[in-house]
Amino acid sequence: MKNQLVHMKGTKDGLVLRLDDQCAYQDLVEELERKVSEGGIDGRVNVSLDLGYRYLLEQQKQELINIIEHPGKMVVSKVLSNVITVDENNAKMQGNLCDTYVGIVRSGQVIQAPGDIIVIGDVNPNGKIEAGGNIFVMGKLKGIAHAGIGGDREAIVAASWFEPTHVYIADVIEVMSNEKPIVKEHAEQLFAYINKEGNISYDRLQEARKIRPLLNTKGGS
């Protein structure tokens, strides 16, 4: 008898369908169709699809899901896979990357980063920083900062000296005027974030751990 290509296993989170990752894709499809039509399940259940080390195109994944859901008894809630492509991995890494720019961002210059960026130096008026993630300026921020450019509303803009002309976070724009009391009186060590009302707020850098606890990636001892 042939090896089983589709393993069905019950766990406390629901049914897991583990598909063999060494056989031909066509064989897998055939066995899956057979297994699903066998039935033996009452009612609708959530299943997780575990692909193991097999890489599937988006279209193939959809095909398998359609086969499983076709009889109307199982719903695929999750697709697990141990592999991703190099491109996907790189894109993921870029988003998590923290770039460092050493120098002065002068008038007319634009510095872009896919993830976070640390600027060691000043951002002069009309200089611009654009980042997919957070912006940290170790010098004076006197220009324009756009954090979370891809839409990350959790992103922050922090600076040792916080005196920007414009702050953008995701799709929220703030034109800095001198009326902001905290910025006017205390430009040192501030950061900007989107508050619960959806507006840009400022606070002391020390408050970041309360306002954005998820920024922390390192545990202390």
Partner 1 sequence: MTGCRKPEKYGHYSTLKEVANVGEAIVITSGKGGVGKTTTAANLGTALALQGKKVCLVDTDIGLRNLDLVLGLDNRIIYDLVDVVEGRCKIHQALVKDKRVDDKLYLLPAAQTTDKNAVTPEQMKELINELKREFEYVLIDCPAGIEQGYRNAIAGADSAIVVTTPEISAVRDADRVIGLLEKEEINPPKLIINRVRKDLINQGDAMNINEITTHLSIDLLGIIVDNEDVIASSNKGEPIVMDPNNKASLGYRNIARRILGESVPLMTLEEEHKGVFKKLMSIFSR
Residues in contact with partner 1 by the rule CB under 8 A: 103-104, 106-109, 121-122, 124-127
* Shortest CB 92 distance to partner 1, Å: 31
If we measure between CA atoms, which residue out of 116, 153, 149 comes closest to residue 135? 116
Residue 105 DSSP symbol: B
Residues 160 and 138: beta-carbon distance below 8 Å: yes
CA dihedral over 22, 25, 31, 33, signed as positive or negative = positive
Q: Write down the least CB distance from residue 214 to partner 1, Å.
A: 35
The one-letter amino acid code at 211 reads I
- Considering the complex, what minimum distance in angstroms separates the CB of residue 159 from partner 1? 16
Nearest CB to partner 1, comparing residues 123 and 167: 123
CA distance 200 to 197: 9
H/E element, 8 = strand 6-11
Instruction: Give least dist CB 62 to partner 1, A.
Output: 48
Shortest Cβ 138–partner 1 spacing (Å): 14
Contacts of residue 111, Cβ cutoff 8 Å, sequence gap at least 6:
101, 105, 117, 119, 127, 128, 129, 130
Identity of the residue, 60 or 109, whose beta carbon is nearer to partner 1 in the bound complex: 109
The smaller minimum CB distance to partner 1, of residues 103 and 150, is found at: 103
Q: Is the Cβ of residue 47 or residue 105 nearer to partner 1 in the bound state?
A: 105
> What is the greatest pairwise CA distance in the chain?
80
> Based on CB atoms, which residue is closest to partner 1, 109 or 201?
109
